[in-house]
Structure 1
Amino acid sequence: MTNPIIETNKATVARFLAGTHSPNIDDVAVIDDTVVPHIACHGFPGFPNEEFFDRESYKAFFRIFRQSFSDMSFETLKTIATEDFVSAHWEIWATHSGEFQGIQPDGARVVFDGIALYRMEDGKIAETWLTINEPLLISQLGKGRARAA
């Protein structure tokens, strides 16, 4: 027997991930429908203490990220959900097309993965903990066009 709360939470996160990683950056507007206004986010590079607490900052993160990495393909590898939390393990393939953490773009194709844990409130994302495999990502940047696939 399926639990409707868990299914709602999983569907919300799937919709959020699809919109925030869509080829159309305007799809980040999905944040307005899937995230509470008082969102708390942890582990986001580029923000003071890697944290922020509002939906507009969440949108800004994805817009900035998409300026650094284009031609992105995104896949959710595994989702685990309870009534209060959804965890997603994902993988991204992208082109390094804009500065990221001070590293100038070189057009290289990169691949990296990460995990996001979402705390849910009434079917919406209320808190996010993000862990990017940053050592893997950084190790692929700034190597020159010769290694681009």
Structure 2
Amino acid sequence: MTTAPEQNTALLRTAYRAVESGDLDAAERLMTEDFIAHVPGLPEPLVGRDVWRLGTQTMKDAFPDLTINVKDIFGVGDKVTVLLRFEGTHRGTFQQIEATGRRVRFDSIEVYRVEGDRIAEEWVAPDMLSLIQQISPAVADH
């Protein structure tokens, strides 16, 4: 018998596969209409799937070959925690930094709340400092 935490972790794996493949429509369908995103540095959470899509599309445009490796995932009740490793090639502008062609790798810790069979809320903590350092013009190419 499948438990709610098992169903919830499977839902997140499905969402990550959709994002990785570039099918943002499919990923968006896995979210509630009033999806809430808690983003570091913002005083208030962002609400709506369109906000999520804008941020995700920005990443896919800057790193079109982005891969998402689930290093660990576990669910308790309606929450799922995920440890991720993102890898990709900087092929588009990101945070006002023009494409460098550099390969990048950065990690993220993410917590999700699932409501029914949809993702309702996220708290994300990507290692943006590491990512920016990897694409910074001040970093010499090796």
Cα distance in 1 for residues equivalent to 2:89 and 2:10: 28
Relative to structure 1, is the Cα distance of residues 102 and 49 closer, same or farther in structure 2, using a 3 angstrom cutoff? farther
- State which of 117, 126, 129 in structure 1 corresponds to 2:123: 129
> 1:51 deviation in Å?
4.0
C-alpha deviations, 1:6-53, integer Å up to 9, x for none?
Answer: 11111111111111122xx2x1112343111011001178xx658421
Structure-1-length-normalised TM-score: 0.84
Task: Give the match for residue 88 of structure 1.
Answer: 82
* Cα pair 1:15 1:30 within 8 Å, conserved: no
Alignment of 1:42-81 (within 5 A): 42-43=38-39, 49=43, 51-81=45-75
Cα distance in 2 for residues equivalent to 1:55 and 1:74: 20
Task: Give the match for residue 10 of structure 1.
Answer: 9
> 1:145 deviation in Å?
7.9
* Aligned partner letter, 2:38: H
Alignment RMSD, CA only? 2.1
* Cα pair 1:68 1:97 within 8 Å, conserved: yes
Does 1:38 find its partner at 2:34? yes
Cα distance in 1 for residues equivalent to 2:10 and 2:122: 16
Query: Does the residue aligned with 1:100 lie in a helix, a strand or coil?
Result: coil
* Cα pair 1:107 1:145 within 8 Å, conserved: no
> 1:71 deviation in Å?
1.9
User: How many equivalent residue pairs?
Assistant: 141
Cα distance in 1 for residues equivalent to 2:53 and 2:120: 15
Cα distance in 1 for residues equivalent to 2:44 and 2:57: 16
Q: Give structure 2 stretches of 5+ with no counterpart.
A: none
Q: Give structure 1 stretches of 5+ with no counterpart.
A: none
Task: Give the match for residue 102 of structure 1.
Answer: 96
C-alpha deviations, 1:50-95, integer Å up to 9, x for none?
Answer: 8421112222221111111122222100001012100111101111
